[in-house]
Amino acid sequence: MSLRGETAVVGVGLTEFNGMPGHTHMEIMATAIDRAIADAGIKKDEIDGIFSANFVEMLTPLTVAEYLGINPTYMDGTNTGGSVFVNSMQSAAAALSLGLCNVALICYGSNSATGPFTHPPAMHTVEDVYRPRNPITPYALAANRHMHEFGTTKEQLAEVAVSARAWAQLNPAATMRDPLTVEDVVNARMIVDPLGKFDCCLISDGGAAMIMVRKDRARDFPKQPVYMLGVGSRTDHNLISCMPDLTTTAAKEAAAAAFAMAGVTPADIDVVELYDAFTINTILFLEDMGFCKKGEGGAFVSNGNIAPGGSLPVNTNGGGLSCVHPGMYGMFLMIEAVQQLRGECGERQVDNAKLAACNGSGGFLASQVSAIFGTGETL
Amino acid sequence: MLELPAYTEHLKEGILAEHQKNNNESIENPGPLQTYEENLSRGEFRIQQCKDCGQHVFYPRLLCHHCGSNLLKWVAVSGRGTVYSTAVVRQRPEKGGDYNISLIDLEEGPRLMSRVVDVDPDEVTIGMAVSAHVGMIDDKPAVLFYNKEQGDKEW
Ligand SMILES: [Zn+2]
């Protein structure tokens, strides 16, 4: 069977992003869960599927079940890095469709900004010995290779950050809302060349939670359901030295699978939410997902094309670059897609948005999970 | 003091003794990664080559990631390579200053992370020809690359 349209998102919850000092990651997560439960109009005891992972503890689904005082029938603590929540959404859709659970909760919380500093995990002795500044260096290597092969420029990378900031200026919840120009980005302090300060995502506190059910129940909740139409998950490495081609990610295959399941093409998509940990990500994923040709991403993001008023709205909350990035961002991009399809996005709302495409990235461009969401009329 | 570490140490000793009794001759000890590192500490840069498909394998593994074979042998490499991509990690001078991180494609096929150390970090370019030697980073042996030939290599 296909998972197309079999499940829907019926509740979402976000915390504030501007710091929650004195809160643990679980307390931040609980804040988001509380809001998602209220949004779906359910009681916490109805949740019987838990999908959760983070980078500070091993047994996250157990922590969440204990914290909520529930005894779920299905748990998934898979960790593929920041893509994991899109991956979890795939697992939740499958588990719901098979009746292994009836109400799935996907959730995340982090106190990256105000909590104790967490060192990036060791990768492998063959790389760690060189002290690559992870996670930035792998993306700098990808950016440099893209610039070498296709003539992509620092100014084009900067356009990604500037577009994200322009969206953030329309989002009262976003962290960074001051004006930002291409010159600001290009002239900023270099962190790992060719990536400077504004090419890198934020470090935030933040929690996010999402509730999914099968389509037969999807209309029984207060909010308009948002259907999962397609999903695809792929990975082609873990160490950056093992990535076959630094200019093409596994999102190429992941997105192709997601579009095929959904039965739509990039041209049909109204709004796009991508994991922009660094400016190069947006360019790579737009190319790999088929929104433009390989190598043409730099030109595609220029002249405000992905900014408000451009031809393709991308990262409409301001993204990881300007809205929020609490360590693992995959949850937040899906929720922005859901809220856009519900028409809840105020000043940044994309007119008449019916189809949204997402891509979560995990590890260093390693795990790629694409998803297509749609309103009821796209079923 | 926790009692647990001593207890688990005791358990581990017992298990190790059992392992030695039943030593499986088909397993070569140590494993590939430790063998690689022991070679490096003797100044030898060796990688693996698959006896079945003939392709080279890096990082060191028990299984060939090309064809799945478990028949891998250690071979010397030419040490010749090309910079596939490069980046400059910015660091304050008092902490040691900027340094280079590159991905190097070996002539034999595999790609590895390293540093090109005989030119300024931002002078390293994609496509640059480089050659390997075994040096040290933070008191650990590591394969490093030079843009200029550094004389005869012993491996
Ligand atoms: Zn082989």
Contact between A251 and A284 under an 8 Å Cβ cutoff? The reply is yes
Same domain? B12 vs B72: yes
Inform me whether the pLDDT recorded for B110 exceeds 50.
Answer: yes
Work out the mean pLDDT of chain A and round it to a whole number. Answer: 97
pTM value is 0.96
B14, containing H or E segment: helix B4-21
Pick from B29, B46, B76: which residue ends a domain?
B76
Question: Is residue A221 domain-resident?
Answer: yes
Residues B23 and B70 in one domain: yes
Would you tell me which residues 90-129 of chain A have a C-beta closer than 8 angstroms to some C-beta of chain B?
Answer: 124-127, 129
Complex ipTM value: 0.96
Verify whether the Cβ–Cβ distance A241 to B111 is below 8 Å. Answer: yes
Q: Identify the CA nearest to A307 among candidates A280, A272, A342.
A: A272
**By residue range, what is the domain housing residue B120?**
80-150
Task: Return the structure tokens found at A59.
Answer: 């047994």
Tell me the shortest Cα–Cα distance from A238 to chain B, in angstroms: 12
- Residue A303's domain comprises 7-118+202-378
In a domain? residue B107: yes
Q: How confident is the model at residue A18 (pLDDT cuts 50, 70, 90)?
A: confident
All residues at 6 or more sequence positions from B125 whose CB lies less than 8 Å from its CB, including other chains:
B83, B86
Do B63 and B37 share a structural domain? yes
Q: Which among A127, A133, A145 has CB closest to B85?
A: A145
Shared domain for B34 and B89, answered yes or no, is no
| Beta carbons of A22 and A205 less than 8 angstroms apart | no
Residues B122 and B110 occupy one common structural domain? yes
Q: Does B94 lie in the same domain as B46? A: no
| Cα dist from A120 to A29, A128, A235, A309, A329, whole Å | 21, 11, 20, 37, 16
Question: What Cα–Cα distance (Å) separates residue A42 from each residue in A7, A107, A282, A331?
Answer: 17, 16, 36, 20
Gap from CA of B48 to ligand 1 centroid (Å): 10
DSSP secondary-structure letter at B116?
B
What is the number of structural domains in chain B? 2
**pLDDT, tens digit, 9 for 90 and up, residues A271-315:** 999 999 999 999 999 999 999 999 999 999 999 999 999 999 999
Compute the Cα dihedral for A258, A264, A266, A271 and give only its sign. negative
Do residue A144 and residue B85 have CB atoms under 8 angstroms apart? yes
Residues B15 and B72 in one domain: yes
Please report which confidence band the pLDDT of residue B148 belongs to, taking 50, 70 and 90 as the band edges: confident
Residue A342 alpha carbon to ligand 1 centre in Å: 51
pLDDT of res. B1: 41
Residue A88: Cβ-neighbour burial (10 angstroms; 0-12, 13-18, 19+): buried
Residue A336 confidence (pLDDT) above 60: yes
Which of B76, B91, B126 lies at the terminal end of a domain, its last residue?
B76
Provide mean pLDDT across the span A159-187. 98
Mean pLDDT calculated for residue range A342-353: 98
Nearest to A81 by CA among A372, A258, A275: A275
Whether residues B65 and B106 share a domain: the answer is no
Domain boundary among the residues B23, B42, B76 is at B76
B100: CATH? 2.40.50
Mapped to the 3 state alphabet, what secondary structure does chain A carry?
A: CCCCCCEEEEEEEECCCCCCCCCCHHHHHHHHHHHHHHHHCCCHHHCCEEEECCCCCCCHHHHHHHHHCCCCCEEECCCECECHHHHHHHHHHHHHHCCCCCCEEEEEEEECCCCCCCCCCCCCHHHHCCCCCCCHHHHHHHHHHHHHHHCCCHHHHHHHHHHHHHHHCCCCCCCCCCCCCHHHHHCCCEEEECEEHHHECCCCEEEEEEEEEEHHHHHHCCCCCEEEEEEEEEECCCCHHHCCCCCCCCHHHHHHHHHHHHCCCHHHCCEEEECCCEHHHHHHHHHHCCCCCCCCHHHHCCCCCCCCCCCCCECCCCHHHHHCCCCCCHHHHHHHHHHHHHCCCHHHCCCCCCEEEEEEEECCCCEEEEEEEECHHHC
A279 in a structural domain:
yes
pLDDT the model gives residue B23: 65
d(CA A293, CA A286) in angstroms, rounded, equals: 8
CATH assignment of the domain containing A305: 3.40.47.10
Neighbours of ion ligand 1 (CB under 5 A): B 50, 52-53, 64, 66-67, 69
Q: Give B71 Cα–ligand 1 centroid separation in angstroms.
A: 8
Q: Say how many C-beta atoms besides its own lie within 10 A of residue A45's C-beta.
A: 11
DSSP 8-state code for residue B104: E
Q: Cα B147 to the chain's mean position, in Å? A: 20
Compute φ and ψ for A286, nearest 5 degrees: -60, -40
| B15 shares its domain with B70 | yes
Ligand 1 mean position to A309 CA, how many Å? 52
Q: What is the pLDDT of residues A246-274, one digit of tens each?
A: 999 999 999 999 999 999 999 999 999 99
Number of structural domains, chain A?
1
From the list A126, A140, A144, the residue facing B59 with the nearest CB is A126
Residue A179 lies in a domain: no
What residues 34-73 of chain B have any CB closer than 8 A to a CB of chain A?
36-37, 58-60
Alpha-carbon Rg for chain A, nearest whole angstrom, is 19
If you measure CA to CA, which chain A residue comes closest to B114? A130
Instruction: Work out the minimum CA distance from A136 to partner chain B, whole angstroms.
Output: 9
Q: How far is A364 from chain B (nearest CA, A)?
A: 14
In chain B, residues 95-154 whose CB comes closer than 8 Å to chain A? 99, 101, 103, 111-115, 122, 126-127, 137-138, 140, 142
